[in-house]
């Protein structure tokens, strides 16, 4: 299964979601981010490459975390969209993020792949609902998931895969444990939408 996590907007959680999704699904994590998460098993694609290298495009299980380069859509994004099974656009709830999410959706629609949106990194559920209503009214009832503000992402980025695996066994971290299950449930549902669940 191949996943594309992308947005023309920076800082919406592409790398956090991409990395956690890769861990959940046992996929290779690949990014064009020049400051990728501090784990060992990251493949970075240099920004000057126009296409995803063939050996990476052919991987059976991969998560491509591809940010846009300022106002320019990285041509690797369209390339990855052509061979990925599902496209994930993370967004925050503010109006600019929602507008960027709609633009990203429009740019990727032609690939003909299932597109899901994750409303990420919010504390106020009313703001989540407002963002979701705006997206649904513009795009129709596409799948939209939500992930609240959580310390999980920062800690995974800081401590890497070992911490993520260990925390599953630490009952004292019950809240985080619950968060991980909520996130994993979203990743599993997205995998099903991509057709391999």
Ligand X SMILES: Nc1ncnc2c1ncn2[C@@H]1O[C@H](COP(=O)(O)OP(=O)(O)OP(=O)(O)O)[C@@H](O)[C@H]1O
> Residue 34 Cβ, how far from ligand X at the closest point, in Å?
9
* Residue 126: C-alpha distances to residues 11, 122, 132 (Å): 21, 10, 10
147 binds, among Mg ion, ligand X, none (CB under 5 to 8 A by kind): ligand X
16 binds, among Mg ion, ligand X, none (CB under 5 to 8 A by kind): ligand X
**Burial of 106 from C-beta contacts in 10 A (0-12 / 13-18 / 19+):** exposed
Q: Which is nearer to Mg ion, 36 or 194 (CB)?
A: 36
Write out the binding residues for Mg ion, residues 14-33 only, by CB under 5 A: 14-15, 33
When asked if residue 74 is in the footprint of ligand X (CB under 6 A), the reply is no
Of these, 29, 105, 153, 187, which contacts ligand X (CB under 6 A)?
Answer: 153
Q: Which is nearer to ligand X, 10 or 53 (CB)?
A: 10
Q: Which is nearer to Mg ion, 33 or 74 (CB)?
A: 33
Give me 44's structure tokens. Answer: 């970075």
d(Cα 91, Cα 105) in Å, to the nearest integer?
11
Please give the span between the terminal C-alpha atoms of the chain, in angstroms, as a whole number.
9
When asked if residue 13 is in the footprint of ligand X (CB under 6 A), the reply is yes
Of these, 6, 21, 25, 33, which contacts ligand X (CB under 6 A)?
Answer: 33
Cβ neighbors of 102 (< 8 A, separation 6 or more) are 135, 138, 139
Q: How many CA atoms lie within 13 A of 59 on its CB side?
A: 20
Closest CA to 28 of 45, 12, 11: 45
Q: Using CB under 6 A, which of the segments 8-16, 49-57, 134-142, 167-175 binds ligand X?
A: 8-16
Binding site for Mg ion (CB under 5 A): 14-15, 33
């Amino acid at each position: 299964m191949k996943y594309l996590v992308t947005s023309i907007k920076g800082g919406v959680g592409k790398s956090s979601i991409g990395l956690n999704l890769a861990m959940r699904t046992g996929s290779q994590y690949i990014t064009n981010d020049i400051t990728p998460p501090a784990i060992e098993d990251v493949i970075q694609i240099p920004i000057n490459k126009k296409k995803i290298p063939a050996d990476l495009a052919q991987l059976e299980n991969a998560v491509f975390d591809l940010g846009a380069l300022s106002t320019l859509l990285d041509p690797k994004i369209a390339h990855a969209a052509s061979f990925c099974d599902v496209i994930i656009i993370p967004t925050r709830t503010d109006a600019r993020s929602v507008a960027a999410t709609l633009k990203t959706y429009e740019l990727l629609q032609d690939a003909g792949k299932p597109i899901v949106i994750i409303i990420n990194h919010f504390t106020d559920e009313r703001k989540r609902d407002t963002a979701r209503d705006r997206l649904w009214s513009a795009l129709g009832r596409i799948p939209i998931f939500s992930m609240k503000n959580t310390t999980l992402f920062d800690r995974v980025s800081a401590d890497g895969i070992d911490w993520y695996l260990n925390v599953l066994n630490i009952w004292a971290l019950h809240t985080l444990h619950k968060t991980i299950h909520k996130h994993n449930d979203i990743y599993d549902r997205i995998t099903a939408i991509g057709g391999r669940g």
